Amino acid sequence: MKARRPGLDDLMRDARRGRFDVVLVWASDRIARSVKHFLEVLDELQRINIEFVSFREQIDTGGPLGRALVVIIGAIAELERNLIVERVKAGMRRARLEGRHIGRAPLVLDRAAIVRDRCQGHSLRQIARCHRVSTATIQRVLKPTVQSQPYMGVTKPLEKAYS
């Protein structure tokens, strides 16, 4: 998620209102934080027929060479994203093969103590605070599990522990 850019937001609002024909910047990195965001800005400027000129990179979308350069930058950015995705997947695959755990360590909770606290009348918030977890985690722990118990040929769920 990109951070708010009030100056850029104002520029784009004025561009949509047709208050100017050209955006001139010293360097393209001054207009966007990432290649993807840069291409989104250029795409919108092109859609509303506003030329983009970058002094340092000598990009001028008013001419055919500038427009071609933007397409090339976009293709390279897409290739870079795809290569990053592939490297991450390969790294995760290798880690799994080596037996390393991927992701956050699982929570270790005393379910019996949580159920006991709830049966004693403690609120979800009190239990969560005591066990240093969120109330959502407590709700998940207390959620009744369905176990198969034969009851005249039909299975029925167990009663809730916190009823």
Structure confidence at residue 40 as a pLDDT band (50, 70, 90): confident
Structure confidence at residue 145 as a pLDDT band (50, 70, 90): low
> Residue 156 pLDDT more than 70?
no
Structure confidence at residue 149 as a pLDDT band (50, 70, 90): very low
- pLDDT tens string 85-102: 999 999 999 999 999 988
Q: Are 93 and 117 part of one and the same domain?
A: no
How much of the chain exceeds pLDDT 90, in percent?
Answer: 45
Q: What is the pLDDT of residue 138?
A: 92
Separation of alpha carbons 124 and 107, rounded Å: 17
Quote the number of domains for the chain. 2
Least confident range of 42-51, 68-77, 127-136: 68-77
Q: Are 45 and 115 part of one and the same domain?
A: no
104 is a domain residue:
no
Q: Are 92 and 125 part of one and the same domain?
A: no
DSSP letter, residue 60: E
36 is a domain residue:
yes
Query: 72-108 in b/e burial notation, b at 16+ Cβ within 10 A?
Result: ebbeeeeeeeeeeeeeeeeeeeeeeeeeeeeeeeeee
Q: What is the pLDDT of residue 125?
A: 94
* Tokens (6 digits) for 152: 């005249």
Give every CB contact of residue 49 below 8 A, 6+ residues apart in sequence.
21
Q: What is the pLDDT of residue 3?
A: 61
Separation of alpha carbons 69 and 115, rounded Å: 63
Report the predicted TM-score, pTM, of the whole model to 2 decimal places: 0.47
Structure confidence at residue 135 as a pLDDT band (50, 70, 90): very high
Separation of alpha carbons 53 and 27, rounded Å: 9
- pLDDT tens string 41-59: 888 998 999 999 988 888 8
Residue 35's SS3 state is helix
Average per-residue pLDDT for the chain = 83
Separation of alpha carbons 116 and 138, rounded Å: 12
Q: Are 88 and 129 part of one and the same domain?
A: no
Domain CATH for 85? 3.40.50.1390
Q: What is the pLDDT of residue 12?
A: 93
